[in-house]
């Protein structure tokens, strides 16, 4: 898990003072590229880790070799736990996080604990990804830790909210927040002009980000899975369906011929047909009849629009709205 590696990387640097990405890769049994990305992530998050150029260069933890985290400033400790906290999804990683927390100076622990709990990572996707987190994610995390109200534009409407937590789902980020209408969830890449107002707030004492997000996911999944379809597809391509449909892709069985029987879901028959039609004959939908009918309708429209006879006759077929 990445949380384990980040903690181990930091402790290794504390012991040696200066290390290279190759040395970390050897110690932690990862690739040099992975070790370099972890070092860059620590540095970008505000942890005092810097590269040193030259033949005898490497990466240095400013302040020299240390056996604990007492040399970190409050801001640096917060930055570290904002980075490590969301990655601590396994039991071992959470144990490492607790040990790391105990190594902090006592005055910093409250804010570091808040930083570790400010963000949740949900690896199951909803069929879409972003190449990189929006820059505003860092500002939202800061507002969550500081418990500072924010103002922002969302779908051309100016709003105010109390940020309770940030969730990353397959690299798409969401803000769980309190508003005058109760708890709401906002997609971060649709937020703009985000500012911290300076007003504080008190988060509900019974709020738990994991539980709140589980409820949000349940509500969304209920809407996304109103229609299921069963299809046959080459087993080699099942991963593509899983990447698109996420948890709404279930392999029922795989035959000796290498074909897999799979169930996928979407809000309705038209959504399923639009997605599966791109597979052509490579995906054979067995049921329900509504999806098969939608596929036939789409196929007929495409034939009418793009067949050579239509082009020669100069006819124009207007596609449905």
Domains in the chain: boundaries: 2-116, 122-222, 225-313
What is the CATH T-level fold of the domain 2-116, as seen in this structure? Arc Repressor Mutant, subunit A (1.10.10)
Global pTM value: 0.49
Over residues 93-97, the mean pLDDT reads 51
Give the pLDDT band of residue 315 (cuts 50, 70, 90): low
Which residue intervals of the chain are DSSP H helices?
A: 2-16, 21-28, 32-44, 74-84, 91-102, 109-116, 136-146, 209-224, 238-245, 269-276, 289-306, 308-313
Q: Could you tell me if 217 and 247 are in contact, meaning their C-beta atoms sit under 8 angstroms apart?
A: no
Each residue's pLDDT tens digit, 190-243: 999 999 998 999 988 888 888 888 888 888 777 767 889 999 999 999 999 988
**CATH for 225-313?**
3.30.70
């Amino acid at each position: 898990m990445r949380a384990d590696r980040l903690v181990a990387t930091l402790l290794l640097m504390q012991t040696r003072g200066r290390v290279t990405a190759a040395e970390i890769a050897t110690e932690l049994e990862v690739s040099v590229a992975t070790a370099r990305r972890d070092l860059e992530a620590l540095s970008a998050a505000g942890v005092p880790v810097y590269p040193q150029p030259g033949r005898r260069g490497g990466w240095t933890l400013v302040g020299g070799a240390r056996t604990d985290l007492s040399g970190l400033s409050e801001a640096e400790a917060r930055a570290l736990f904002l980075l490590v906290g969301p990655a601590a999804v396994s039991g071992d990683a959470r144990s490492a996080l607790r040990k790391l927390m105990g190594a902090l100076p006592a005055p910093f622990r409250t804010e570091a604990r808040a930083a570790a709990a400010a963000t949740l990572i949900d690896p199951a996707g909803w069929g879409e990804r972003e190449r990189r987190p929006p820059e505003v994610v860092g500002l939202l995390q800061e507002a969550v830790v500081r418990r500072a109200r924010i103002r922002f534009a969302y779908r051309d409407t100016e709003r105010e909210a109390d940020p309770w937590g940030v969730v990353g789902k397959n690299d798409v980020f969401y803000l769980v927040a309190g508003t005058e209408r109760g708890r709401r969830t906002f997609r971060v890449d649709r937020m703009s002009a985000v500012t911290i107002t300076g007003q504080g707030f008190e988060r509900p004492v019974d709020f738990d980000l994991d539980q709140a997000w589980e409820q949000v996911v349940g509500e969304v999944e209920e809407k996304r899975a109103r229609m299921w379809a069963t299809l046959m597809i080459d087993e080699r391509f099942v991963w593509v369906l899983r990447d698109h449909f996420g948890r709404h892709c279930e392999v029922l069985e795989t035959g000796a011929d290498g074909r897999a029987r799979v169930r996928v879901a979407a809000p309705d028959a038209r959504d399923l047909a639009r997605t599966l039609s791109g597979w052509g004959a490579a995906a054979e939908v067995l049921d329900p009849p509504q999806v098969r009918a939608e596929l036939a309708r789409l196929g007929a429209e495409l034939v009418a629009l793009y067949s050579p006879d239509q082009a020669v006759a100069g006819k124009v077929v207007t596609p449905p709205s």
